[in-house]
């Protein structure tokens, strides 16, 4: 069994760390908030800093909201880097900028350690069910070492390429997710305003070529009006900012992505930054002067 560090124990990180504890691994835990009694009760060891985690663990995982948080977790005061020794592996499972990821990897490599960027898709549901998709960038040998841990947290695990390629894949994933949420929202809103039952329309569409995980899960949220967050709009906005910034650097256009970002911004302007990203449909509803499920 491995000695694993886990820094960042929020909506995603806590269940992911829990699966590793359940699998019999020794977990050294740190978060800006106190480590939960649930994790320590199962055998997790609470630490006072990222440095303490890194001193005790051979593989250190980070799962925090954004690029600055990863930078602070790794290189801030009492951060992970200050506790590393040669031969350890740092695995960032956050969703952050590919360019900065390569810079972080170079700094960790200079300490004699390997670095994997391994962002995930599947949200809170996938984290709890250990069914996440994990997109990995980094050295093949380090990937082989960490893969048994990935298999306790996810199902579809792919080494895409070198450092930064995992994050690039996650950005691509978030483009597809945002545009599919927009498509599902438009379709159900169109059907509803035309007088059809959106729940029945969704049921019918799920039997054909238009079916998708987003139609299944987020289409149901739109119909039932359940927008408590699994993945917050403000976090998806962050991911689309990465996409649009990258597109400018590559001198290319992402017109549909830009539109989805504007719809998310409309939601945020109406108090919805913390809504689930499926609530993008609310921006479309404002434009249509109609809700998908007016009687819900």
Model confidence pLDDT, tens digit, residues 43-62: 999 999 999 999 999 999 99
Distance CA 106, CA 163 (A): 9
Distance CA 165, CA 162 (A): 6
pLDDT exceeds 90 at position 170: yes
Average pLDDT, the chain: 97
Mean pLDDT value across residues 143-162: 98
| Per-residue model confidence as pLDDT tens digits over 126-136 | 999 999 999 99
What per-residue confidence (pLDDT) applies to 247?
A: 95
Mean pLDDT value across residues 171-177: 96
Instruction: For the chain, state the CA radius of gyration.
Output: 20
Q: What percent of the chain has pLDDT over 70?
A: 100
- Find how far residue 27's CA is from the centre of its chain: 21
| Per-residue model confidence as pLDDT tens digits over 114-129 | 999 999 998 888 999 9
| Per-residue model confidence as pLDDT tens digits over 251-264 | 999 999 999 999 99
Would you state the structure tokens that stand for residue 56, as one six-digit string? 């005790």
What per-residue confidence (pLDDT) applies to 153?
A: 99
| Per-residue model confidence as pLDDT tens digits over 59-79 | 999 999 999 999 999 999 999
List, in order of start, the domains of the chain with CATH numbers: 3-161 (3.40.50.720), 169-288 (1.10.1040.10)
Question: In the structure, what pLDDT confidence band is assigned to residue 294 with cuts at 50, 70 and 90?
Answer: confident
Cα dihedral value 219, 225, 226, 229, nearest 10: 80
pLDDT exceeds 90 at position 296: no
What per-residue confidence (pLDDT) applies to 125?
A: 87
The single residue of 55, 88, 170, 282 carrying the catalytic annotation is 170
| Per-residue model confidence as pLDDT tens digits over 199-248 | 999 999 999 999 999 999 999 999 999 999 888 999 999 999 999 999 99
What per-residue confidence (pLDDT) applies to 230?
A: 81
Nearest Cα residue to 279 out of 242, 237, 232 = 232
Query: What is the pTM assigned to this prediction?
Result: 0.90
- Give CA separation, 119 vs 13, 259, 260, 296, in Å: 12, 24, 21, 35
* Catalytic status, residue 170: yes
pLDDT exceeds 80 at position 295: no
Distance CA 290, CA 104 (A): 47
């Amino acid at each position: 069994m491995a000695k694993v560090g886990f820094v960042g124990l929020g909506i995603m990180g806590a269940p992911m760390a829990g699966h590793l504890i359940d699998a019999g691994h020794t977990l050294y835990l740190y978060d800006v908030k106190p480590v939960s009694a649930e994790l320590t009760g199962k055998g997790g060891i609470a630490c006072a800093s990222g440095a303490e985690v890194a001193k005790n663990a051979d593989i250190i995982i980070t799962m925090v909201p954004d690029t600055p948080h990863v930078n602070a977790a790794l290189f801030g005061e009492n951060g992970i880097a200050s506790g590393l020794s040669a031969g350890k592996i740092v695995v960032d499972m956050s969703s952050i900028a590919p360019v900065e990821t390569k810079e972080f990897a170079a700094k960790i490599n200079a300490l004699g350690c390997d670095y994997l960027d391994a962002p995930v898709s599947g949200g809170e549901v996938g984290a709890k069910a250990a069914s996440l998709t994990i997109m990995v960038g980094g050295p093949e040998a380090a990937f082989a070492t960490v893969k048994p841990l990935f298999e306790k947290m996810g199902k579809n695990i792919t080494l895409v390429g070198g450092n930064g390629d995992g994050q690039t894949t996650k950005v691509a994933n978030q483009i597809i997710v945002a545009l599919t949420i927009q498509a599902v929202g438009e379709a159900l809103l169109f059907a509803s305003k035309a007088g059809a039952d959106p729940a029945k329309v969704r049921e019918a569409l799920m039997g054909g070529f238009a079916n998708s995980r987003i139609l299944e899960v987020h289409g149901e949220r739109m119909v039932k009006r359940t927008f408590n967050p699994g993945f917050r709009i403000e976090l998806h906005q962050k991911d689309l900012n990465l996409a649009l910034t990258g597109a400018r650097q590559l001198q290319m256009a992402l017109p549909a992505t830009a539109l989805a970002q504007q719809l998310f911004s409309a939601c945020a302007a109406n108090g919805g930054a913390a809504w689930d990203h499926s609530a993008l449909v609310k921006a479309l509803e404002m434009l249509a002067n109609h809700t998908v499920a007016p009687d819900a």
